[in-house]
Amino acid sequence: MTKEAESRIEGREIFGRVLCGIDGTPESLEALRQADSLRDPSGRLTVVTALELASTAEAGWAATGAAAQLEAAAALALEAARAEVPGADLRCVEGRADQVLSAEAERLDATLVAVGTHGIRRLVGVAIGSVTTMVLREAPCSVLVARARAEGEEQLGAIVVGVDGSPQSELAAAVAFQLGERFGVEVRPVTVGGDGVDRNAVEAIVPDAVVTEGRPVEALIASAGRSDLLVIGSRGLAGLRSLGSVSERVAHRAPCSVLVVRPPARA
């Protein structure tokens, strides 16, 4: 690992200011638990739930009652979050969930945004604006897409990290090995064979990467089959260009939690 990559995550910056979106569902509470476990011991965790009152406008005479129901649901979601992580900073913000998360990430200068996933396929998510899809596409920082671990497993287990020789994958590898050391778990670097991979650059990052064949998305997903966390770098694509993003497609389809690493804004 180069000194440059190590310096870019000095002080565990990626886990320093963590923002988690919740909606009261088991998936969002799982994201909260994982976000809290990854948070640096000296870092901060903020939990936000969105109050989408605009959706009650079409309720007509029943709008007041509908708004009251949404407010009650938001309060219950925050109470559930408080029970899981008593020390977290809890916020209820009016607006659409993905927009609220983006705004809060900017306001807090978040280094990691954590969300759960309800299994919506990626292209469908783009079409209907699912929160996970929009956060993956627009977040200015690293993103954790959390999935439940195997029954009975509470602590982070094996980690797989994708390495292709790029600076983004070098940073992902640095984060993965840092997590491995912190939690005392195995880290398995994986690279996908093919003409687009610089083998010398991969060797310079991790000399013992497992080489697997196939298309990058499918190969990474298969490699993550028995792990708790897949770590991948992001090239920062946004808008229509992100439709071809390997990190976004993997995050939607992987069988485990996925950490999409982006450099901290202040690095």
**Residue-level pLDDT at 33:** 95
**Residue-level pLDDT at 261:** 95
Cα 40 from chain centre: 15
Query: ∠ CA 199-203-207 to the nearest 5 degrees?
Result: 135
Q: Are 153 and 265 in contact (CB under 8 A)?
A: no
Give the chain's mean pLDDT: 82
- The fraction of the chain above a pLDDT of 70, given in percent, is 80
Q: Are 115 and 20 in contact (CB under 8 A)?
A: yes
**Is residue 103 one of the residues assigned to a domain?**
yes
Same domain, 246 and 116: no
Same domain, 167 and 225: yes
Across-strand partners of 49? 92
Global pTM reads 0.85
**Residue-level pLDDT at 226:** 83
CATH number, domain containing residue 187: 3.40.50.620
**Residue-level pLDDT at 238:** 45
Q: Which two tokens stand for residue 68?
A: 């009251």
**Residue-level pLDDT at 245:** 75
**Is residue 153 one of the residues assigned to a domain?**
no
**Residue-level pLDDT at 263:** 81
**Is residue 267 one of the residues assigned to a domain?**
no
Q: Which of 24-38, 125-139, 200-214 has the highest mean pLDDT?
A: 24-38
The whole-number average pLDDT for the span 18-43 is 94
Q: Are 162 and 220 in contact (CB under 8 A)?
A: yes
**Is residue 44 one of the residues assigned to a domain?**
yes
Q: Are 102 and 138 in contact (CB under 8 A)?
A: yes
- The fraction of the chain above a pLDDT of 90, given in percent, is 47
DSSP SS3 for 159: strand
Last residue of a domain, one of 100, 125, 146: 146
Residue span of the structural domain in which 235 resides? 159-261
Same domain, 181 and 205: yes
DSSP SS3 for 259: strand
Same domain, 126 and 229: no
Q: Domain tally for the chain?
A: 2
Same domain, 64 and 185: no
**Residue-level pLDDT at 213:** 82
DSSP assigned state of 85: -
**Residue-level pLDDT at 122:** 40
Q: Is 28 left (phi over 0), alpha (psi -120 to 50) or beta?
A: alpha
pLDDT at position 91 over 80: yes
pLDDT at position 240 over 50: no
Sheet holding 142-146, edge to edge: 89-94, 44-51, 17-21, 112-116, 142-146, 257-261, 229-233, 159-162, 187-192, 210-212
Same domain, 22 and 105: yes
The whole-number average pLDDT for the span 19-28 is 92
Same domain, 17 and 142: yes
- What would the pLDDT profile of 33-78 be if each residue is shown by its tens digit? 999 999 999 999 999 999 887 765 555 545 567 778 888 989 999 9
Same domain, 77 and 180: no
**Is residue 266 one of the residues assigned to a domain?**
no
Q: What is the per-residue burial (b if ≥16 Cβ within 10 Å, else e) of 56-74?
A: beeeeeeeeebbeebeeeb
**Residue-level pLDDT at 200:** 86
Across-strand partners of 188? 160
**Is residue 99 one of the residues assigned to a domain?**
yes
Q: Are 113 and 141 in contact (CB under 8 A)?
A: yes
pLDDT at position 95 over 80: yes
The answer for residues whose C-beta is within 8 angstroms of residue 149's C-beta and 6 or more apart is: 157, 228, 256, 257
